[in-house]
Amino acid sequence: MTRSVLCGIAAILLGAVMAGVPPTLGAQSLDKNTDFYVVGVYEGHTHKYGKVTVFVADQDRPITLLLTAYESVEWQIEIEPGARLAKVLLSGYHDQRVSGVPSGIPVQTESHDRSSPTYMYGHDNSSCFNLVEKAESIYGMAPKAYLCQYRGAAFVVDHSGLRAIPLQ
């Protein structure tokens, strides 16, 4: 390798370390033509493998979802006709599951249980701030909207942004 290539690699690794990203991974950039949404919960409607539904409405651009939880959650994606889902990122302390994702849409899963060095989750103000900061450093894009809460049942992503549907 040439000296300039080695210097470039060193600069990338130093930037990754300073951003809190493991230097072996670097950024996993998302497509800049998508909108990025982040949902964080501690648990679903029940403690372990509680179901959380995410309704995705038709929008102007494709979206990428980062769905995170501390406890294992069964994420159910409900896609409105015309909505374009580009990618689903699952992350948490414990393993996450997802259903309802159309075939051909990539799903990436990371967790502490799988020894993934970039797993993340957030459910309150401070952990949500850390989640968003880490997601931006790893994926190279700030979320268009994010929402964290302790327990989740359902969320909507539409032209108005991202919002929770209250638990009943």
pLDDT tens profile 96-151: 999 999 999 999 999 999 999 999 999 999 999 999 999 999 999 999 999 999 99
Phi first, then psi: give them for residue 138, nearest 5 degrees: -80, -45
pLDDT tens, position by position, 76-92: 999 999 999 999 999 99
Q: Provide the whole-model pTM.
A: 0.82
With bands split at pLDDT 50, 70 and 90, how would you rate the model's confidence at 17? very low
pLDDT tens for 19-63 read: 344 433 445 789 999 999 999 999 998 888 899 999 999 999 999
Sequence-ordered list of residues with C-beta below 8 angstroms from that of 8, at least 6 positions apart, any chain: none
CB contact at 8 A, 132 and 38: yes
Is it the case that residue 15 has pLDDT exceeding 70? no
Is the Cβ–Cβ distance between 139 and 16 less than 8 Å?
no
Contact 119, 92 (CB under 8 A): yes
